[in-house]
Structure 1
Amino acid sequence: MSRFERPVVVKVTRHAAERIVFEVSDAAAILLRDFPRQTEKRRQAMDACLRVLRGESHPPAARRAFVAAALEAKILRND
């Protein structure tokens, strides 16, 4: 299981509930399905999550990339 040391809280749409992201796989799913637009930071975060899921990297790298992409997309609620 690939978990973040600290969860990341995002709010994908104005009407959606906040989502508490503990797992790298959940972050990847949000990047894939729920992100408002394609950006370089989103692509980097997706790549970082996939590297962790393949066992080629560690969760902190994916968390940093996911936070950066969420910040850029203005959906980050904590860090």
Structure 2
Amino acid sequence: MPPPKKRKATNTVRREEAETLRKEITVLQDQVQQLQAQEELTAVTPKYHLQLLAHSLRTKICAGRAGPGPKIGLCRRSV
């Protein structure tokens, strides 16, 4: 008959559980970082990109309105 298995010490069991939990936490943190990176990439939708572009053009046109030239009706401020 084989000798009975020795029972692990409580500290050893807790240490092993803590190590396993640390590994799981690391994996979950990596997943969170990947999801956040994906979200950042998808946050700039084509519609949003067009809105940013239109705003950029509007500010460039409005900034150039101080000088002589035709008045363009794209600026929201009245001169």
TM over 0.5: no
Question: What's the TM-score once normalised by structure 2's chain length?
Answer: 0.26
* TM, length-normalised to structure 1: 0.26
Between structures 1 and 2, the one with greater strand share: 1
Higher relative contact order (CA 8 A, sep 6+): 1
Q: Rg larger in 1 or in 2?
A: 2
